[in-house]
């Protein structure tokens, strides 16, 4: 008998068994499942419940809006080898991404332009080893859950297994929340591709994939660009057999901004542990990693700007800027094959360099074991996003090319086996600061740190034995302090962007901080001797309210809520004095917003006298 009852949430509940589903594991239950969904939709929405049992689905399940799919403990929706899944829809934009990204209807569970959809419970959706990892033939499916242009998606507690090309693919879906999702597709391909998405919250995920585990992308499959951002991922475990664990790209048409990744454990990636590429003209900015542990990652950290430009709006070359890594560790024992040195690789032109990147307490261990080699620039395929697209790096640790404003604070790099290459090489770059770095020295390495045509560098630290670092420079200039007593915002680590759209500033621009609590600007300020100084902070506040900021010197707060009053317009600048005690030599001065509005625009810091 077809019926509904009131569920625990107060929504009407529709039991699939009441609509003919057997749950015996052999009967094709798809028609009964779709009948249940239609009944719930006709009633204005409700919960479609799967009691314990195995529900074989040899055809596509069609979702509707305002539905919750409740998978009880012991319940499984199982893919079938005798399948007649929906055929892929035609797509005039096929050429801009691969087949799997271009087609959505050929999945086990599909939906387009839906609102208020949820998958909850502790049950399982299992492809059963019957989903396709390559291009499917007619009647075959290549993904478990395939959703496009949806709003308000919840995925809590369920398990996805043997997903084919994708366990879950969401494109142009916004307002996504997920708590306790489990994906087991290590013998297939991708875990979850979050494509063209805003307002995403993922916690307590456990994703074991072969291809990318958790990837954020923006492609042209729907014929336009989408902005991406306001994303938070925390307290999750990720692994990727062949590819990337936590990844931006490679499909990168729309811009990405405002991402936070915290307390994430990565236990394998044969490409990047933390990967970020701009291949198709996108700007990636305001991304922050904190408390990340990695093991078994062949390329711990990689950022690259490429020139593939595979989008339908004739994009230019992209950019990456304002990225931070805090409390990150990475190890790799070499069991998976050749390791790739951590790399930041920008493109030619000031706008296409990788800019304003901070590594704070980032400690990486690589296998090492390479002999001394040429320190010349390695080959690079600008159309390929993979770490192997860049030849063997001439540094066993960090290789930096075409970067500007990259800073390492209290970080280290070391190897497992003796290596003949330098620990760090920066090439064709500017404003590179290694503040208190610890770098292991190979017995045959020509030097520890190499600066090749770098406009402004500063390096302090030791090798792992406590000795002085050996520095080689070629057409490079050392700059461990700004000229005079003034430190411009563009010389700082700006959590936001360096802008120039409001006149009256000094130097080349000002720091427009992110509108968030904790948005910060940080400088290294030199003092000729220990003592009390005035730190003059030039700023503009074009709003009508105070934008207070905390001021800290060498980690100690000296002004917990320094006022930055309105100036009447963004082109009106004022100087706010703060008294602080500085030590002789280098000092770290950090100002951080204390309200969600962020700070004012910051032009410079000037030490007086």
Distance CA 54, CA 548 (A): 58
pLDDT band at 528 (very low <50, low <70, confident <90, very high): confident
Position 484 pLDDT exceeds 70: no
Distance CA 487, CA 99 (A): 51
E strands in 554-597: 556-562, 574-582, 585-593
Position 399 pLDDT exceeds 70: yes
Other CB atoms within 10 A of residue 348 CB: 12
By DSSP bridging, strand 585-593 and strand 549-553 are antiparallel
Contact between 353 and 326 under an 8 Å Cβ cutoff? The reply is: no
pLDDT band at 336 (very low <50, low <70, confident <90, very high): low
Domain definitions of the chain by residue range: 1-222+232-243, 249-480, 486-608
pLDDT (average), residues 481-490: 69
pLDDT band at 6 (very low <50, low <70, confident <90, very high): low
Closest CA to 80 of 18, 25, 122: 25
pLDDT value of position 480: 65
Distance CA 525, CA 522 (A): 9
pLDDT (average), residues 552-572: 93
The lowest-confidence range among 13-22, 156-165, 348-357 is 348-357
Same fold, 1-222+232-243 and 486-608: no
Residues 62-74: tens digit of each pLDDT: 999 999 999 999 9
Which H or E run includes 300? strand 297-305
Residues 341-375: tens digit of each pLDDT: 999 999 999 899 999 999 999 999 999 999 999 99
Closest CA to 605 of 551, 558, 522, 536: 536
Closest CA to 459 of 477, 441, 436: 436
Return the CATH number of 486-608, one of 2.30.30.90, 1.10.3720.10, 2.60.120.260, 3.30.70.260: 2.60.120.260
Q: Which ranges of 247-356 would DSSP assign to H, the alpha helix?
A: none
pLDDT value of position 83: 76
Question: Whose structure tokens read 């900015």?
Answer: 285
Taking the CA atoms of 140, 143, 148 and 153 in sequence, report the sign of the dihedral they define. positive
Structure tokens at 32: 């009964």
E strands in 440-507: 449-463, 471-474, 477-478, 486-488, 493-494, 496-499
Look at the domain 1-222+232-243 and name its fold: Pectate Lyase C-like (2.160.20)
pLDDT value of position 483: 42
Position 156 pLDDT exceeds 90: yes
Contact between 390 and 343 under an 8 Å Cβ cutoff? The reply is: yes
pLDDT (average), residues 234-251: 97
């Amino acid at each position: 008998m077809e019926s509904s009852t009131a569920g625990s949430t107060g929504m009407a509940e529709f039991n699939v068994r009441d609509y003919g589903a057997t749950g015996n594991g052999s009967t094709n239950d798809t028609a009964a499942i779709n009948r249940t969904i239609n009944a719930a939709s006709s009633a204005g929405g409700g919960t479609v419940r799967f009691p314990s049992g195995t529900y074989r689905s040899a055809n596509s399940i069609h979702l509707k809006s305002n539905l919750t799919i409740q998978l009880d403990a012991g319940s499984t929706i199982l893919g079938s080898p005798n399948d007649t899944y929906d055929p892929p829809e035609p797509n005039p934009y096929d050429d801009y991404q691969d087949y799997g990204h271009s087609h959505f209807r050929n999945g086990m569970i599909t939906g387009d332009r839906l609102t208020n959809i949820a998958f909850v419970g502790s049950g399982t959706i299992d492809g059963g080893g019957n989903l396709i990892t390559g291009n499917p033939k007619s009647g075959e499916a290549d993904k478990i859950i395939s959703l496009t242009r949806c709003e308000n998606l919840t995925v809590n507690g369920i398990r996805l297994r043997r997903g084919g090309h994708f366990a879950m693919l969401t494109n142009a879906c916004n307002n996504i929340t997920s708590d306790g999702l489990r994906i087991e597709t290590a013998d297939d391909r991708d875990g979850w591709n979050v494509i063209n998405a805003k307002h995403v919250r993922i916690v307590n995920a456990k994703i074991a994939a072969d291809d990318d585990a958790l990837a954020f992308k923006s492609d042209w499959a729907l014929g336009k660009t989408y902005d991406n951002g306001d994303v938070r991922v925390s307290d999750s475990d990720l692994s990727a057999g062949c590819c990337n664990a936590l990844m931006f790209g490679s499909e990168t048409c729309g811009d990405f901004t405002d991402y936070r990744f915290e307390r994430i454990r990565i236990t394998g990636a044969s490409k990047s542990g933390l990967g970020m590429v701009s291949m198709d003209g996108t700007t990636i900015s305001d991304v922050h990693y904190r408390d990340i542990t990695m093991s078994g990652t062949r390329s711990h950290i990689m950022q690259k700007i490429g020139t593939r430009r595979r989008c339908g709006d004739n994009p230019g070359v992209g950019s990456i800027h304002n990225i931070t890594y805090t409390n990150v560790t990475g190890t790799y024992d070499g069991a998976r094959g050749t390791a790739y040195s951590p790399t930041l690789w920008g493109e030619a032109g000031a706008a296409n360099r990788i800019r304003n990147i901070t590594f704070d307490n980032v400690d990486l261990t690589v296998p090492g074991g390479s002999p001394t080699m040429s320190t010349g620039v390695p080959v690079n395929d600008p159309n390929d996003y993979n770490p192997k697209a860049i030849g063997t790096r001439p540094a066993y640790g960090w290789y930096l090319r075409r970067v500007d404003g990259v800073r390492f604070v209290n970080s280290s790099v070391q190897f497992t086996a003796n290596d003949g290459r330098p620990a760090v090489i920066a090439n064709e770059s500017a404003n590179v600061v290694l503040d208190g770095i610890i770098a292991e020295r190979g017995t045959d390495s020509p030097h520890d740190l190499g600066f090749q045509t770098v406009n402004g560098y500063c390096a302090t630290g030791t090798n792992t034995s406590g000795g002085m670092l050996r520095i080689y420079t070629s057409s490079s200039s050392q700059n461990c302090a700004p000229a005079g007593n003034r430190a411009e915002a563009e010389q700082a680590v700006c959590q936001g962007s360096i802008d120039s759209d409001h006149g009256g500033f000094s130097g080349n621009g000002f720091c427009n901080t992110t509108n968030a609590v904790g948005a910060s600007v940080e400088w290294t300020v030199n003092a000729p001797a220990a003592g009390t100084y005035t730190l003059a902070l030039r700023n503009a506040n074009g709003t009508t309210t105070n934008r207070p900021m905390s001021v800290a010197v060498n980690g100690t707060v000296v002004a917990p809520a320094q006022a930055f009053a309105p100036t009447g317009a963004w082109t009106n600048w004022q100087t706010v004095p703060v008294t602080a005690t500085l030590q002789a030599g280098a000092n770290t001065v950090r100002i951080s917003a204390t309200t969600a509005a962020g700070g004012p625009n910051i032009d410079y810091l000037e030490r007086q006298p």
